[in-house]
Chain A
Amino acid sequence: MRYLLLAVLTGTVFSVSSVHAANVDLESRIAAERIAVGTCAACHGWKGRSIAPKFPVLAGQRANYLLSQLRAFKAQTRGDPDALGYMWGMAAPLDASTMAALADYYSRQTALAGVREDPALLARGAQIYQQGDSAEGIPPCAACHGMGAAGTDMYPRLAGQHIEYLMKQLRSFQTNLRDVAIMHGVAQGLNEHDMRAVAAYLQGLGP
């Protein structure tokens, strides 16, 4: 309950004006498709199905989350290393309607089937994700991200995401390089082993 309250109180972190396909005009949709195929795909893969684990899978990601992150990149308020190195530059020329169209484009793509790695860690990962570990002060991730980790209008999809990317983000939350209060609190209790366990569990989850 304590965690749920925390989630609600800090829910504004990712809350942004919603993106709906109907709101995206045709011109922006065409522009976004060109950018997605001609630029984003070089790292994030065809239709957002990233191959390299350094770059997050975008296919099936929640549009609101994508839009909030694009805005954070453009405003230079998201401060993890790859945000600075890659996305600050990438997002700078995007206007509001193109960002919304890009968020819409990727949210409409079919999410990837999960890839299971580190089977020995999956049980521990599932435990942390679904129930948390009160002894370690780790809340259940599912409280916000949903039992299937498909995300909500407020929180991002995590299912099928690369282990390496998830761990990089968790470390960035821990150190406040990526300054998100709720995730800073959550990630504090995670040691390297548990971090990998929950990331491996999430990568293994399908759509």
Chain B
Amino acid sequence: MFKIQRSRIAAALATMLMFLLVPKAHAVPSFARQTGMACEACHTVFPELTHFGRMFKANGYTLDNLKQVRDITTERENMLVLATLAPLSVMIQVSQTWLDRPLPDGGGSTGHSQTSTTGFPQQLSLFYAGKVAPHLGAMIQASYDNASGSIGIDNTDLRFANLLLLPNDRGLIYGIDANNNPTVQDLWNSTPAWGFPYAASNAGVSPLAATQIDGTLAQDVAGLSFYAMWNESLYAEIGAYHSAKQGITNPITGAAGPLDGSVSNVISGAAPYARIAYEHQWRRHDVEIGAYGADFKLYPGGGSSSPVPLSGPVNQFRDVAEDLQYQFIGVQHLFSLQATHIHESAQLDASFDAGVSSNPNDTIDTTRITGSYYYRRKIGVTVSHFSTTGSADSGLYPSGPQPGVITSADSSPDTRGWIAEFNFLPWLNTKFSLQYSLYDRFNGGGTDYDGFGRKASSNDTTYLLVWLTF
């Protein structure tokens, strides 16, 4: 039984890592084509948004200046307002990754892996990003990535938005958003989905632990939320997420559902999500402070080899986070700071009962602080500190019987380090990045985290990226 549990958790971890390893994106030139405005209107440097970019998003990506195909009723009611040019964009990322120390040979030989990986492409994405109809917009991304070798749905954000004119010319934007990744709908770059690193290697080693709201459920859920923004400053959003698995079929019918115990980490009912933020501008400065959170009740399920019913006890993950963003946008000099802290308290009734976790309750705390400087939007340096700490749990963060790399001798999720990135943009839609990720601590240890002599620094990564969007 225990062996089965182990294999199940290994499968769950592998799934989780797959999501963690998929790099984030993206800025979209189709918005520029649609609005006729240059990238700098909406971005400091892509994908970080300016205040105007945030308002464009809150307004449903609908601002446009393209010639339209129209149809109206005799009462002059609009029946169709369709751009003559589809808002399509392509993004390609080509990369080279060097690991500080090679991995053991996964095929079982006594040798080891190569230290470098070429991603050609690492990722290729097609976007529909722009207006769909009046008040209705979409950013839909389909991506090929070299890890899966296939094309799949990536970040998706569909929204309806409208503006209410209040007395004294104040505005209230309100809208409905449907998305597949908690915080992908958010307007600030201090929250996970659009936070730094904006692109990362998918050929490195990812730590064992991450909170649910921090990308773990990306492209695995569907969320519907209602939001309002008063006077371009006070933002509030409330919504809920439901599982929306990709690439999963019902074992009886072979159809896309319903889900059963052969699937892992299924949301019980709907998981509430909430967000509040306040933004203030003065002269060239812009500051935002906010909080966000969600409460996920997940059935651990089992996987096809060892199904577990989607009923009974659940694992409850309560994520509460605070975030802060500061931007200075000068003519020559641009500076921004993003910070977030996520606290997750997990009540693992299902996993503890099944012996998968060694504690009934665990916590994870993740903190990220990122500072960026750009000169004339052409040359930039970003430095980021990241830290994850949490309860030691020999079930969730197991040690391995052999050199593990993604195991933990201390059963600890603690990981911390730094990322330094140098960027050069010869044009606003072309980015060359050199990124170095340095680990002080990895899965609980500094010098021997897996119990077989691997150092945290062995997972340090040098990453060279060519990122083109057009």
Q: Mark A residues whose CB is within 8 Å of B.
A: 33-34, 36-39, 41-43, 46-47, 51-54, 84-86, 88-90, 92-93, 164, 168
Q: For B55, what are the chain A residues with a Cβ–Cβ distance below 8 Å?
A: 39, 42
A43, A85, A164: the one contacting B38 at CB < 8 Å is: A85
Main secondary structure of the interface of A (DSSP, over half): helix
Contact B51 A42 (CB under 8 A): yes
Contact A51 B281 (CB under 8 A): yes
A-B interface pairs (CB < 8 A), number: 68
Q: For B56, what are the chain A residues with a Cβ–Cβ distance below 8 Å?
A: 42
B170 at the interface (CB under 8 A from A): yes
Nearest chain A CB to B2's CB is how many angstroms away?
58
Nearest chain B CB to A186's CB is how many angstroms away?
22
Interface residues of B in 19-36 (CB under 8 A from A): 35-36
- A-B residue pairs in contact (CB < 8 Å), sample of 28: A33-B169, A36-B169, A37-B169, A37-B170, A37-B171, A38-B59, A38-B171, A39-B59, A39-B63, A41-B232, A42-B56, A42-B232, A43-B51, A46-B170, A52-B283, A52-B284, A52-B329, A54-B329, A85-B38, A85-B40, A85-B41, A86-B38, A88-B37, A89-B35, A89-B37, A89-B41, A90-B65, A168-B331
Contact B165 A89 (CB under 8 A): no
Contact A92 B171 (CB under 8 A): no
Closest to B35 in A: A89
Q: For A89, what are the chain B residues with a Cβ–Cβ distance below 8 Å?
A: 35-38, 41, 65
Q: A52 and B36 in contact (CB under 8 A), knowing A37-B170, A46-B170, A85-B41?
A: no
Nearest chain A CB to B410's CB is how many angstroms away?
50
Bound state CA distance, A86 and B39, in angstroms?
Answer: 9
Q: For A54, what are the chain B residues with a Cβ–Cβ distance below 8 Å?
A: 284, 329, 331
Interface residues of B in 225-276 (CB under 8 A from A): 231-232
Going nearest first, the 6 A-B pairs with the smallest beta carbon separation are A89-B36, A92-B65, A85-B38, A89-B37, A42-B55, A38-B163
A38, A85, A86, A88: the one contacting B173 at CB < 8 Å is: A38
Nearest chain B CB to A82's CB is how many angstroms away?
9
Contact B36 A43 (CB under 8 A): no
Q: For A43, what are the chain B residues with a Cβ–Cβ distance below 8 Å?
A: 51-52
Q: A93 and B283 in contact (CB under 8 A), knowing A34-B163, A41-B232, A84-B38?
A: no
Q: For B100, what are the chain A residues with a Cβ–Cβ distance below 8 Å?
A: none
Q: For B35, what are the chain A residues with a Cβ–Cβ distance below 8 Å?
A: 89-90
